[in-house]
Amino acid sequence: MIDESFLKRVEEARKQGKKIGIVQGSWDLFHLGHLRYLLKAKEQCDFLIVAMDSDEKIKKRKGSGRPIIPEEERYEFIKLLPGIASEVVIKEVNEPKWHLIKSVKPDVLIIIKETYKKEQIEALKEYCTEIKILPRQSESSTSDKIRKIVISSKGKQVKEINELVSIAIEDLKKRIGYTSDMDEIITMLIDHLRDSTDVVCPVSAACFYNGEWHFGTNHTDLNLPAYDINNRTELYYALTEHAEMNLLKKLGEVQVLDTPIYTTLFPCDKCMKVLIEKGVKEIYYLEDHPERNWSKRSHALAKKHGIITRPLIEKTEVETLVDMNGYKYIYPPNARKQEQLDIMIKKEAEGIDPLGIEHIDQEILYVTNYWYVTKNKFPYLGAELQFLIISKYGIYDIKDITEQMWAELKEISLNLIEEYQINGGAISMRFGDPSFSGATLKRLHVHIIMPKEEEKVRFGIGGHKELKKGLKIE
């Protein structure tokens, strides 16, 4: 950090007649070229300040896949290189342009030609006695090649993650009936969900502290295999940072947080304990899972410590925002059987999507990136086989099905046809307003139906306005 004490140390060195130099970089995946560059920089001066871009700064410039090595580790690495850095300074994203150079006014600034434009170098001369331009260090070494492979594969992974996170965000917006005229903090929280790397349940948390807003999101270690991310194994839980923890980390050494915490999901009991320790007295949240044990424990903790917990959207408000029938996940008039209707109504009342992968109570045949496959629990009359391919992340609008999802759908369908020797039948999916399309469950799902020999299966297209005769909602 460029603070008083840092500047004082620099001044001290200057008084001792030392030549002050600055060299800057991100020093991500440190390699031989970096080391050569630093050694050359060190030759130019007696007191070398190595500036290092913060994680946030690199992300902003190079995308969310970078850096590969986190800030703390890069910092320590440079610091521990023997005899090189007299000072290591992290450059923050919100610093004014050339803040370090202008504050230190070095005797020599060491740069690589390609990093600055001619005019910039001219302008920099105002703040530096000398500017030493070095050639770019070796690019073709083995470690540099590996480095490029790691970076590009991570970039690809991040792109997929970004896409899945966007889907999860859209799902959340639908669940809460999001509109842009809601309280501003809701929009801010939702905007920040994009920084999350949790593809199933991105969470963000915020607080106003020391005159500014701070945000945190939950992070899944990107090195986790997809299996652990999708199935939430022990490894997944061990390597996931919750949004509240991430927020507190960003706040640093704050002892007592006397401002409210805002979060998209009610804090889990582990986070609640830490928030209590930090002195938090008010928590506002967008969603909760009151049926889950962690939520029950967390509410109990909050109550015991006199913490105010309040939903950001009052329940009644949500209800006026759902469709004309007031059901979020189901459309009862299209239900065919009382048993089916009862299950759906019960789940809906608990705030659960009956087609949610974690709530489905029938055997899951397999799961892919975007879909999961089951046998229909209530097959149509005359069907020999009936499979359901259900959108894993809760897609409700056909326009939200991405290219990749369509491709996967095709692959799944062909696999089922081959595996179950379906020699004929239909692939069908209803979409649009269920009162018009005839769907009972709103989450998009595809039926693959094979009829019994010499029988007819009636796949209804077209909705009803009222419950089928004989069916009732308790």
Residues near Zn ion (CB under 5 A) are: 242, 268, 271
CB of 244 to Zn ion, least distance (A): 6
Nearer to Zn ion, 131 or 274 (CB): 274
CB of 302 to Zn ion, least distance (A): 13
Nearer to Zn ion, 164 or 271 (CB): 271
CB of 297 to Zn ion, least distance (A): 11
Nearer to Zn ion, 188 or 268 (CB): 268
Nearer to Zn ion, 48 or 201 (CB): 201
CB of 271 to Zn ion, least distance (A): 3
Nearer to Zn ion, 239 or 360 (CB): 239
CB of 296 to Zn ion, least distance (A): 14
Nearer to Zn ion, 55 or 244 (CB): 244
Nearer to Zn ion, 219 or 242 (CB): 242
CB of 314 to Zn ion, least distance (A): 24
CB of 293 to Zn ion, least distance (A): 13
Nearer to Zn ion, 78 or 203 (CB): 203
CB of 225 to Zn ion, least distance (A): 23
Three-state secondary structure of the chain: CCCHHHHHHHHHHHHCCCCEEEEEECCCCCCHHHHHHHHHHHHCCCEEEEEEECHHHHHHHHCCCCCCCCHHHHHHHHHHCCCCCCEEEEECCCCCCCHHHHHHCCCEEEEEHHHCCHHHHHHHCCCCCEEEEECCCCCCCHHHHHHHHHHHHHHHHHHHHHHHHHHHHHHHHHHHCCCCCCCHHHHHHHHHHHHCCCCCCCCEEEEEECCEEEEEECEECCCCCHHHHHHCCHHHHHCEECHHHHHHHHHCCCCCCCCCEEEEECCCHHHHHHHHHCCCCEEEEEECCCCCHHHHHHHHHHHHCCCEEEECCCHHHHHHHCCCCCCCCECHHHCCCHHHHHHHHHHHHCCCCCCCCCCCCCCEEEECCCEEEEECCCCCCCEEEEEEEEECCCCCCHHHCCHHHHHHHHHHHHHHHHHCCCCCCEEECCCCCHHHHCCCECCCEEEEEEECCCCCCCCCCCCCCCCCCCCCCC
